[in-house]
Every structure is written in structure tokens, then in C-alpha cells.
Amino acid sequence: MKGRLGAVQDEAVIEHLRACGLVAPGETPKMTPLSGGVSCDVWRVDTAGGPIAVKRALPKLRVQADWFAPVERAESEVRWLRRVGAFAPGIVPTIVAEVPEEHLFAMRFLEPAQHPVWKDELIAGRVDPGFAAKVGKALVGIHAATANDPAIARDFDTGAMFHALRVEPFLLHVAQHDAEVAPRLRALAADLEARHIALVHGDVSPKNILVGPGGPVFLDAECAVYGDPAFDLAFCTTHLLLKAVWLRPHAAALTASAARMAEAYRAGVVWEDADALMRRAGALTGALLLARIDGKSPAPYLTDAAHRTEIRTRAKRLLTGPDAELCAGLEQLIAGWQGCPSGGQ
């Protein structure tokens, strides 16, 4: 039976939806909690007008470490979804209501049968490098459409939020606890925060991408910032390479997916030198691989100690050791990852 606090919270959410005109007077829609990850509450709400997805930001993230983040990230996410939806409506869900004072918003619900989560597809062994290429093409399209735009830069002047959600927990937290890689990680963090090039999603992960009938659909842009587009490419590449270690039977297809995504992305880089961007993406991927083991948000599926040790060792070699030359470019790093103990089997 649901606790009284949960029931009160649900009633409060319904009242906000009623004020927005999404719930009729006297109507009591069914609310079903969905997986919101570590950063938010998410519900499916079945209203008389059809199902909607409702999301509310949490002030303290659901991780072991103390990790607090500004709840205003909900408003930043809505701005990202609306901005991208204006020029590429097929790759984001439609916002139907927003309650900024509660850091809550509602979207059109996308049925899972037609929009499975990419992460779930990968875990099930349905690894399609062609879909990964579509992700790369869609992602570079967002960056190309927003690059060097002062108005968008002003709308997403959210560097403090990006620092709290990405730079500190993923790079500086590791640097604080690992002297060997600290200089390299601090240099990467400083460079990342100094670049203001295009509209960055900040959490491009298979768990935040739906496999839609027309291609990828991007969710969860809480970390949106006007920053370095190399971060988005590196973040998604990191997840594919981690899964190549975790999902041993599908390692070849997963690394091929990372390669196809990088290839498609490179082809659309028109706002700067592509080689320079791919070098930054390679360096950030090395750092993020280590962060998903030793940062504030370790990858929850990497429960095998041997896998964690393997990734940590490989990542540190990429950052400071004999494999550091692979960080000269993302494609080289991906090709080298295939030779790791898990990826090669």
C-alpha cells in the first residue's frame, strides 16, 4: 500500500496538472511511477485525454555519494526540448505543460512498444550499428544547427549547473581522489568549461534515447549547456564501450556501433575542424570511462570487480600511460578498445 507521503505527493502533482488544463475537474487519473534514474521522479499519468509523462527534478540525486544539484535544471531541460523541437521535431518528445515553480513538466507519452529504450535493446542483444549511426547523425545535426549562435548561448548560460552535474562529479571528484590522473583530469575540466561552441545535451546515453520508428528520440536534457559538443559524443561513446566490456557476447557489435556513431558524427561537423573536435572527444572519453568507475555516479551495471578493474586500468592508460596516444582521436580510441580483454573475445 502506498505511504501517506507518496499519496500526498501524487495528489499535489495531479493538482498542478489540473491547473494546466491536462486533468479535468473531478477527474482522478491513474499515476504510475516510471524509472527516473538518479535525478528525478517520473510518472505515467493516464488522463481522460490520453497518457502523458510527468517529470520532477530532485534536489539530491539517488547515489551513494552526497550529490546535490540545482532543481532549476528542469527548466533548462524544457528549453532544450523546445529549442531542438523547433528545428527537428521528430527527435524529441513534445512538451505539453510546465510548472516552473515546482520544477515539474509534462510531455506527450511515447508508447514503449513503438519507442523502446536503446539501452534495453542493447542489453537484449539487439545491437544495431546502423541505429548508432543515426544517433551520431542526429546529434551532430543539433550541434550544427546551434553552433556559434549568441542568442542560444545566452539562453543556455548554465555553466554552474553543468559544473555541478557533470564537471565536478565526473572529472574533479576523480581528480580529488587519484593523484596519478589528477593533472590530466583538471586540465580537461578547465578546457571543457572554457568552450562555448554549441548547444550540448549533457546526458546522451542509451538509457536516454528511444528507438523510434523514424530514428532516435532524445530524452533527459537536464544537463543542457552552451558548451563543447565533443562532450555529448564522448559521453555516448563511453556508454557503448562500457557495455562492450559488460556484454561480452556483443562486444564486437557494440564497438562497431561506437565506430559508426563517430563516423556519422564526423561527417556532419561543419562549424570547426573535425580532427580537433574528435581529439577532444577522445580525451574526454578516456576521462569518462574512468569516471564511470570511480566518479560520483559509477555505472550501476558494472558489478563484476574484474570488469571494473579492467576498465579502470585501460582508462588510466588512455589518460597518462602508454596508450595515451589513442586519445589523439576518438576513432583511434574505439579501434583500440576492441583489443581489450573483454572486447576481443
Mean of pLDDT over the chain = 90
Please state, in angstroms and rounded to a whole number, the distance separating the CA atoms of residues 98 and 176.
Answer: 38
Task: Inform me whether the pLDDT recorded for 171 exceeds 90.
Answer: yes
Average pLDDT of the segment spanning 181-204: 97
DSSP string, 186-231: HHHHHHHHH---EEE-S---GGGEEEETTEEEE---TT-EEE-THH
The more confident residue out of 113 and 12 is: 113
Average pLDDT of the segment spanning 234-243: 98
Whole-angstrom CA distances from 233 to 133, 147, 201, 306 are: 12, 15, 10, 27
Task: Inform me whether the pLDDT recorded for 63 exceeds 70.
Answer: no
Average pLDDT of the segment spanning 163-183: 96
* Whole-structure pTM value: 0.90
Q: What is the pLDDT of residues 174-188, one digit of tens each?
A: 999 999 999 999 999
Task: Inform me whether the pLDDT recorded for 342 exceeds 50.
Answer: no
Please state, in angstroms and rounded to a whole number, the distance separating the CA atoms of residues 202 and 116.
Answer: 21
Nearest of 315, 313, 310, 311 to residue 326 by alpha carbon: 315
Q: What is the pLDDT of residues 64-77, one digit of tens each?
A: 444 545 667 788 99
Q: What is the pLDDT of residues 268-304, one digit of tens each?
A: 999 999 999 999 999 999 999 999 999 988 999 999 9
The more confident residue out of 163 and 64 is: 163
The more confident residue out of 206 and 60 is: 206
Please report the domains of the chain, with CATH numbers, ordered by start residue.
4-108 (3.30.200.20), 118-337 (3.90.1200.10)
pLDDT confidence of residue 327: 63
The more confident residue out of 23 and 64 is: 23
Instruction: Tell me the sheet residues that pair with 44.
Output: 32, 53
Confidence class for position 3, pLDDT limits 50, 70, 90: very low
The more confident residue out of 15 and 150 is: 150
Spell out the residues 6+ positions from residue 86 whose beta carbon is closer than 8 angstroms to its own. Answer: none
pLDDT confidence of residue 134: 98
Q: What is the pLDDT of residues 82-96, one digit of tens each?
A: 999 999 999 999 999
